[in-house]
Amino acid sequence: MAAYIAKRLLAAIPVLFGLSIIVFLIMAMIPGDPATAILGSYATPENVARINADLGLDKPLPQQYLIWLGNLLQGDLGRSYALNRPVLDEVLERFSATLILAGTALVLCSILGLLAGVVSAVRQYGLADKVITVLVLIGISIPSFWLGLLLILAFAVKIRLFPASGMYAIYGGGDLPDLLHHLFLPALTLAVVATGVIARLTRTAMLEVLRQDYIRTARAKGLSERRVIYRHAFKAALVSVIPVIGIQAGFVLGGAVYIETVFQWPGIGSMLVNAISTRDLLLVQGGVLVVAAAYVLFNLAADVVQTLLDPRLR
């Protein structure tokens, strides 16, 4: 197994390499002159030339990439012009906040989604199934940024149960209960869509598995229905749901962009939105790269878990 994990880690290297190329190319294909974009009204010819030399933009593209990659490997993602601090410091600080939010949401949606899916499949066409099906449909159709606004109006403005924004209280906060208090609404909002998707696929996977011959065998052996469903069927369904959870991690990480904006969570998503509007491109580049790398590693973990569950994949 350790060998398998090592092999998968090695296989992730070209993917990360590819990511860096794509991120680099996206930034390189920016129309017009980035220096002018950065400088705005300060774009005198001398300033433009200086910026171009600073950024190495006067060199050919492959060379620019290699220089950029070399810096990247040394942990140098450049400096943010708008914030005037190293991109890496800013990105890592913001990313830890995003991890707290997205991680919580992911745990929440996995548990709720699996639970709802299994209940829905086991009670197919029953009341629970119908209620869950409708809730799931609402969940995957509702714009999360709008849901966030509604929740703020309801729970922060009308009944003042939860704070409307931020990660910690401005005065006297900073401890874990304070964090959880701030975390509740955004994490819940972020989890809604993914919960719907996971619940749906879990239901389908369970229904598919429950029709398999080996489930009939389990019943023919005289196992209790509880054991048939929760041991035999659930394990097999889980194998096909785990990659979905891996993909949902991407949606949750991406969805954090909206939720962080709505709840003013100091994460990487709100940072990116700001950086895009201020054309702070190095910050955008760094942020995208770090989140994408984290996502690759997460998917790797999902793969490994799936392989652990399914001996046929070894």
Partner 1 sequence: MSEAVSTAAKGRARGAGRPGPIRLLLNNTLAASGLVLLVLIIAAALLAPLLPLPDPDATAPADRLLRPLTEGHLLGTDALGRDILSRLVWGTRVSLAVGISATLIAAFFGSLIGLVAGYAGGRVDAFLMRGIDMVMAFPYILLALAIVAALGPGLLNALYAIAVVNIPFFARNIRGITIGLSRREFVDAARLSGKSNAGILFGEILPNVLPVIIITMSTTIGWMILETAGLSFLGLGAQPPQADLGSMLGEGRKILFTAPHVSIIPGLMIFALVMSINLLGDGVRDVLDPRLKSGALTRPVARTAVERRTVPETRTHGDSVLEVADLNTEFHIGGDVYRAVGGIDLHLKQGECLGIVGESGSGKSVTAMSLMGLVPTPPGRITGGAAWLDGEDLFAVSDERIRALRGADVSHVFQDPLSTLHPLFTIGDQLTEAIMAHRPIRRSEADARAEELLRLVRITNPAERLKVYPHELSGGMRQRVCIAMALANDAKIIIADEPTTALDVTVQAQILSLMDTLRRESNAAILFITHDFGVVSAVCDRVAVMYAGRIVETGTTEEVLNAPAHPYTRKLIDCVPVLGEPGRRLDAIEGRPPVVNDLPPGCAFAARCPRVKPDCRRGHIALSSLGDTQAVRCLYPLTGETADD
Residues 132-171 that bind partner 1 (CB under 8 A): 137-138, 140-146, 149-150, 152-153, 157
Give the H/E segment covering residue 104: helix 87-122
Site for partner 1 in 80-99 (CB under 8 A): none
Smallest separation (angstroms) from partner 1 to the CB of 267:
12
Smallest separation (angstroms) from partner 1 to the CB of 196:
10
| Among 1-9, 66-74, 179-187, 216-224, the segment contacting partner 1 (CB under 8 A) | 216-224
| Among 83-91, 169-177, 178-186, 230-238, the segment contacting partner 1 (CB under 8 A) | 230-238
Judged by beta carbon, residue 85 or residue 216, the one nearer partner 1 is 216
Judged by beta carbon, residue 36 or residue 179, the one nearer partner 1 is 36
Among 7, 50, 85, 216, binds partner 1 (CB under 8 A): 216
- How far apart (Å, rounded) are the C-alpha atoms in residues 32 and 253? 30
- Asked if residue 122 binds partner 1 (CB under 8 A), the reply is yes
Smallest separation (angstroms) from partner 1 to the CB of 288:
5
Please report the DSSP string for 188-217 in residue order: HHHHHHHHHHHHHHHHHHHHHHHTSHHHHH
- How far apart (Å, rounded) are the C-alpha atoms in residues 270 and 275? 8
- How far apart (Å, rounded) are the C-alpha atoms in residues 92 and 69? 18
* Count of residues near partner 1 by CB under 8 A: 79
Site for partner 1 in 39-58 (CB under 8 A): none
160: left (phi over 0), alpha (psi -120 to 50) or beta: left
Judged by beta carbon, residue 174 or residue 254, the one nearer partner 1 is 254
What is the phi/psi pair of residue 80, to 5°?
Answer: -75, 125
- How far apart (Å, rounded) are the C-alpha atoms in residues 144 and 201? 20
Residue labelled with tokens 């874990």: 176
Site for partner 1 in 246-305 (CB under 8 A): 249-251, 253-255, 257-258, 261-262, 272-273, 275-277, 281, 284, 288, 291-292, 295-296, 299
| Closest to 194 (Cα-Cα) out of 64, 297, 121, 106 | 106
Judged by beta carbon, residue 96 or residue 174, the one nearer partner 1 is 96
Binding track over 193-212 against partner 1, x by CB under 8 A: -----------x-xxx-xxx
What's the burial of 294, exposed, middle or buried (CB within 10 Å: 0-12/13-18/19+)? middle
Smallest separation (angstroms) from partner 1 to the CB of 176:
27
Any bridge partners for residue 85, and if so which?
A: 80
Site for partner 1 in 1-40 (CB under 8 A): 15, 18-19, 22-23, 26-27, 29-31
Among 63, 96, 124, 264, binds partner 1 (CB under 8 A): 124
Please report the DSSP string for 234-279 in residue order: HHHHHHHHHHHHHHHHHHHHHHHHHHHHHHT--SHHHHHHHHHHTT
- Asked if residue 79 binds partner 1 (CB under 8 A), the reply is no
